[in-house]
Amino acid sequence: RLPPAALILEITESMLLATTPAETTRIIAVLTRLRDHGIRIALDDFGTGYSSLAYLRTLPVDILKIDRSFTTAPTAADHAQTRAFTKAILELSASLHLQTIVEGVETHDQAVLLQQLGSPLAQGYLFSPPATADQIDDLLHTTPGYEAA
C-alpha cells in the first residue's frame, strides 16, 4: 500500500487560469483536503502564465516546479534578466518553505548555474529523458549517484 506522502499531484498554473473564481475556490478546497490527507501538491510550469503571486499564498502547494523558460543557456542574449528572475523565484520559494524543482535542464552549464543560484533540485534531459517504470528501476540500480527524489 502506497503511503499518501509518496504521492505528488501536479497541477499547472494554466489550469487555474482557465477557471472561474468559483471553480478556483472549489479546486483550492479539493487540493486542501488532499493535502490534509498527506498527499503533496506540486504547482507545475510556474512562471508561464499570467497568474498573480497571490496564488502562492492561497494554494495549498508543497512543491514549486519552475518552468524551463527560466533555464536559459549562460550564453543566451537574455541570460542576465532570466538569471535575475530565476534567483528571485528560488528565493521566494525558499522563504515560503516550498520544495523547488527547476525544469528543462539540458546542459551541464545550466545545472552548474542553477546550483550557484541555490536550486536544490533540477529535472531535464541532462539527467534522463522521460522513462518507463522498468527503465527507472534499471537506472536506479545501475547508475552510481542516481536516487529517487
Backbone angles phi and psi of 67, in degrees to 5: -60, 150
Q: Is residue 98 part of a domain?
A: yes
Q: Is 99 within the bounds of a domain? A: yes
* In a domain? residue 113: yes
Domain membership of residue 123 (yes or no) is: yes
Position 149 in a domain? no
Is 148 within the bounds of a domain?
Answer: no
Residue 30's CATH number? 3.20.20.450
Between CA 56 and CA 84 the distance in angstroms is: 19
Write the single-letter amino acid at 72. Answer: T
User: Residue 44's beta-bridge partner residues?
Assistant: 12
Percent of the chain with pLDDT over 70: 91
Q: How many residues does the chain have?
A: 149
Picking from 64, 83, 73, 47, the residue whose alpha carbon sits closest to that of residue 121 is 64
Distance (Å, whole) CA 42 – CA 62: 6
Residue ranges of the chain whose pLDDT lies below 50: none
**Count: domains in the chain:** 1
The set of residues, in sequence order, having a beta carbon less than 8 Å from that of 28 and lying 6+ positions away, is: 58, 59, 60
Is there a domain that residue 104 lies in?
A: yes
Note the pLDDT tens digit of each residue in 100-142: 999 999 999 899 989 999 998 999 999 888 889 898 888 788 8
pTM: 0.82
pLDDT at 53: 76
Helix (H) or strand (E) holding 17: helix 13-17
Q: Is 147 a domain residue?
A: no
Q: What is the pLDDT of residue 88?
A: 92
pLDDT of residue 120: 86
Task: Please give the residue range of the domain that contains residue 24.
Answer: 4-142
